[in-house]
Chain A
């Protein structure tokens, strides 16, 4: 069964600290993996996208990694800011005729001053 699991469900960190969010998937055949950021009451916005051959991708203070062998991805946030408080959603696309995607439930990050 195609699944995407994220951990932790929620996380509280102090401003300026680093954190890492995890995503494990069982999707096959794999096409690509994206991380989205969703602010409260807003739509998700893409942060990074990685295909099978890519194992790291950065977007400012956000760095995503991908291990296609173990089917794991992580999103590392460096020097967190209050504006990083949001839900982070892992989305895996797979080949199956058309645009097939599986969404994770997200990790809710709270950054406190």
Chain B
């Protein structure tokens, strides 16, 4: 148990569906992240939120829409996805985005399959 909880753990959706991934952290951290992990590729940073404000958007397509209502919750809204978007989506948190010694605490991931 890392203190970061992701739901759902598995999701299968069609290209016309709309779904959301949820992440909640119980660590009192101020920064939250979404990463995409595809097979045999490094983790790709998608979005960073620090104190609820988006600080990074790594040129992510608009079919991925993040939402951070407070420092403990992070959502990733999905719509009109493509099959190549199938991957493991990992949420992480850290004490502070500014501190480069901050350790990342990851959730278990949401395995997404787009048909």
Number of A-B contacts (CB under 8 A): 65
CB distance from A25 to the nearest CB of B (A): 12
Segment from A14-22, A37-45, A56-64, A74-82 that makes contact with B: A37-45
Give the CA-CA distance A4 to B41 in the complex, in Å: 12
Selected from A43, A99, A106, the residue in CB contact (under 8 A) with B106 is A43
B74 within 8 A of A: no
Q: Are A99 and B108 in contact (CB under 8 A)?
A: no
Selected from A45, A100, A103, A106, the residue in CB contact (under 8 A) with B2 is A45
Selected from A41, A49, A51, A95, the residue in CB contact (under 8 A) with B103 is A49
Interface string of B95-110 (1 = CB under 8 A from A): 0011111111111110
Q: What band does the interface of chain A fall in when counting residues whose beta carbon is under 8 Å from B?
A: 20 to 34
Q: Are B98 and A98 in contact (CB under 8 A)?
A: yes
Complex interface: chain A residues within 8 A of B41 (CB):
105
Complex interface: chain B residues within 8 A of A26 (CB):
none
CB distance from A4 to the nearest CB of B (A): 7
Give the CA-CA distance A49 to B99 in the complex, in Å: 14
The chain A residues found within 8 Å of chain B, CB to CB, are: 4, 9, 31-32, 34, 41-46, 49, 51, 89, 91, 93-95, 98-106
The chain B residues found within 8 Å of chain A, CB to CB, are: 2, 4, 6, 31, 40-43, 45, 48, 50, 55-56, 90, 92, 94, 97-109, 111
